[in-house]
Amino acid sequence: MKNMKRSVINLRNFFLVLKSDVRLLIGVSILIVFIILGFILCHFSPYDPKRWGQVPRDVPPCWSYPLGTTSLGQDLFWLLTFALQNSLVLGITVAAVSTFTGVTLGLLAGYRGGYLDEITTFLSDVFIAIPSFPILVMLAALFLGRIHILMLALVLCLFNWPWPAKQVRSMMLSLRERVFIETAIFSGFGTIEIIFREIIPLISPWIFANFINTVLVAIGAEAGLATIGVSSLEEITLGTMIFWALRYQAMFMGHWWWIAVPVVTIIVLFIALFLIYLSISEIFSIGGFKK
């Protein structure tokens, strides 16, 4: 009861919750900074960050190049804004598509039952049991580091829908048995109205938390692939920034800033996302979390 009272997401409540939870406040602020960097500031880039030799090589952080430059003559600051944009777009796309698919399937399976339920449950169990990473590596490797980023997103979606499907299904099953659903039925509401107005609002905090977690997982997976050189290396992402830095031995040539920029960004971004995830889960007392 007490928890359910609080599980209304609307703007006013959101700000109230934001004020009351320091972790959420920190997480959201960091995320907003990154979103500004990646989606607004990048449009002000004086040069195409993909092109080499636009700026002097190997300059450590200074006034004119706040984050330094690479051995290829790229400005790390502007490079980072583009990397953030691509990584966030990838993460958000994967999270949106797989959360949407998973939630829809879970709702249908939980409400309708029958064969649809059996199939969804079984498929999601199978997909959860198959380790995704080796398959991702193999697929990406076959494309010799030129896999299209959309293709990568698609495959990541394939491995990220089962979890929300499974969870939403079981939440649906227990909510369906709740007495207030019967009140709604006998007040004359139809199935669609009941799902959208009675059930989804109650599971929306979970959906949101899962969305945030999937953003984290997707960005992390791409960066992992990039680290061993099998992502789409021509695109600028946080992962490919690490790859090129490693490839050009940035660390051992003393160009520590080149590797530090993407590494620190990934850490801060992930901690921010995780803080949001954790505090939402705790505020709405959603048990258990996963990597």
Binding mask 33-72 for other proteins (x = CB under 8 A): ----------------------------------------
186 binds other proteins (CB under 8 A): yes
Residue whose token pair is 């199935």:
191
Position among 39, 100, 189, 248 found at the interface with other proteins (CB under 8 A): 189
Q: In the 8-state DSSP scheme, what is residue 68? A: -
Using CB under 8 A, count the residues that bind other proteins.
Answer: 67
Position among 119, 135, 151, 154 found at the interface with other proteins (CB under 8 A): 135
CA pair distance 184, 192, nearest whole angstrom: 12
Amino acid at 125: D
CA pair distance 177, 140, nearest whole angstrom: 45
Of residues 168 and 203, the one with the C-beta less far from other proteins: 203
Residue numbers 220-259 binding other proteins by CB under 8 A? 220, 223-224, 227-230, 242, 246, 251-252, 256, 259
Sign of CA dihedral 39, 290, 7, 187: positive
CA pair distance 71, 54, nearest whole angstrom: 11
Please report how close the Cβ of residue 255 comes to other proteins at its closest, in angstroms.
11
Q: Is 76 left (phi over 0), alpha (psi -120 to 50) or beta?
A: alpha
Please report how close the Cβ of residue 167 comes to other proteins at its closest, in angstroms.
12
Take residue 7 and report the two structure tokens written for it.
């599980």
Interacting span for other proteins (CB under 8 A) from 30-38, 67-75, 101-109, 193-201 = 193-201
8 binds other proteins (CB under 8 A): yes
Residues 6 or more apart whose CB falls under 8 angstroms from that of 181 comprise: 175, 194, 198, 199
Of residues 40 and 126, the one with the C-beta less far from other proteins: 126
Please report how close the Cβ of residue 158 comes to other proteins at its closest, in angstroms.
10
Nearest to 76 by CA among 58, 102, 88: 58
Please report how close the Cβ of residue 104 comes to other proteins at its closest, in angstroms.
21
Nearest to 37 by CA among 74, 69, 77: 77
Q: Compute CA 77 distance to the chain's CA centroid, rounded to the nearest angstrom.
A: 22
Are the C-beta atoms of 241 and 77 separated by less than 8 Å? no
114 binds other proteins (CB under 8 A): no
Position among 41, 61, 202, 248 found at the interface with other proteins (CB under 8 A): 202
CA pair distance 79, 83, nearest whole angstrom: 6
Please report how close the Cβ of residue 233 comes to other proteins at its closest, in angstroms.
12
CA pair distance 103, 210, nearest whole angstrom: 10
Of residues 100 and 143, the one with the C-beta less far from other proteins: 143
288 binds other proteins (CB under 8 A): yes
Nearest to 26 by CA among 284, 282, 275: 275
Interacting span for other proteins (CB under 8 A) from 36-44, 48-56, 93-101, 126-134 = 126-134
List interacting residues with other proteins (CB under 8 A). Answer: 1, 4-5, 7-8, 23, 122, 125-126, 128-135, 137-139, 141-144, 178-180, 182-189, 197-198, 201-202, 216, 220, 223-224, 227-230, 242, 246, 251-252, 256, 259, 263, 266-267, 270-271, 273-275, 278, 287-291
